[in-house]
Structure 1
C-alpha cells in the first residue's frame, strides 16, 4: 500500500551519542528531542547524496567507467523558534529544545528520520525502519531565506557518519 508522506516523518535529535549509533535503541530514540514539529518542511534536507566517484581503469580497459567511492550525506534544517508566553523575550525552555540543541557551531548531534506509513506523532518502536541516521556537526544558525512568517533560523550541518535504512532495536545485540 502506498502512503502519503505529509505528516509521517518522525525526526529524533539526540544530544548524547547512542551506545551504538548504527543501532539506536527505542529508548534512546524516544528519549531524544522529537524535532518533527520544529523543522520547516519546505527546505528540510537530510539524507544521502551522490557518492564520490573515481575512474581508475587498467591499461587493458578501453572505457573510463566510473566507480563509486565514499558516501556523502546532507543536513540542513530551518528551526521554528518558541518563546515563553509569560516572558516573550525569552525562549521557552520546554518548547525551544530543537533550536537549543543545534544553535552552537561545532555541536555534534545524532539525527534519525523515520518515514513510513506511521504518523510522525507515533512513538518509536522496535523494528521501525530508520530512513537515515547520521552524526551531524552543526554550523552557526543563519537567517531564513525569506522574511516574514514565524521566527526561525536555518541550521546547516555536515554529516560526519551515516547509516541509511537501519532499524530501531530494543537492545544492542551481543
Structure 2
C-alpha cells in the first residue's frame, strides 16, 4: 500500500532584504558578564563603529569548528563531532584627525582606533545583521553576534597613498556568542 503525503501549498514569503547598510557594529571597551544577553543600555552606550570601519578588510566571523575524530567501537568509521569553536576577526579602521590641528587625532572620531591601538587592548565587538539599518538604535529582542577580542599590532594599508587613511588591526578572538539577543 502506498501512502500519498498531504501536499500543503507554499505560503508566500516576505520580500528578501538587501544586505547593504544592514550591519550595525558596536564596540564595548568593557566585556559584559553575559555575552548572550547584553542590555540595550550597554549596547547603545558603546562606540558606534559602523561608520568607523571599512567594508573591505573588516571581518568578524565564526569559522569551521575543530573536529573530534574519536569514534567508539560501535560507531561507523569516520564518525566526527564538532569540537572547539574557531573565529576570525580583523578591523580595518578609518582614522579621523582634528581639523584645527591635523597632527592630532580627533578624540570622538578616532575613539575606536584609540581603544584598539595598543597591542593587547581588549573589548567586545557586537554585530547586528538584521533587516534594520545600521543607524537604528539597539532595541530589546535584537539578534546579534558578539566577539571578545584582543588587539595585535596595527599596520598601515599596503598602499597608504590610496583612499582614506586607515589602520588595520588584527584581532584575536578569545570567546564569542553566535546567537545573542539584546535585553531591555
TM-score of the alignment, normalized to the shorter chain, above 0.5: yes
TM-score (norm 1): 0.92
- Secondary structure of the residue aligned to 1:98 is helix
Specify the alignment match of 1:104 in structure 2.
Answer: 118
Specify the alignment match of 2:158 in structure 1.
Answer: 145
Q: C-alpha separation between the residues in 2 aligned to 1:122 and 1:146?
A: 34
Bigger CA radius of gyration: 2
- Equivalent positions of 1:86-125 (< 5 A) are 86-125=100-139
Specify the alignment match of 1:16 in structure 2.
Answer: 30
Q: C-alpha separation between the residues in 1 aligned to 2:128 and 2:54?
A: 16
TM-score (norm 2): 0.87
Q: C-alpha separation between the residues in 2 aligned to 1:22 and 1:161?
A: 11
Q: C-alpha separation between the residues in 1 aligned to 2:109 and 2:101?
A: 14
Identify unmatched segments of 5+ residues in structure 1. Answer: none
User: Is 2:119–2:153's contact at 8 Å kept on the other side of the alignment?
Assistant: yes
- Equivalent positions of 1:45-60 (< 5 A) are 45-60=59-74
Q: C-alpha separation between the residues in 2 aligned to 1:60 and 1:31?
A: 53
- Equivalent positions of 1:156-167 (< 5 A) are 156-167=170-181
Across the two proteins, how many residue pairs are aligned to each other? 169
Say if 2:147 is the partner of 1:134: yes
Q: C-alpha separation between the residues in 2 aligned to 1:109 and 1:53?
A: 28
Identify unmatched segments of 5+ residues in structure 2. Answer: 1-14
Q: Indicate the RMSD between aligned Cα atoms, in angstroms.
A: 1.3
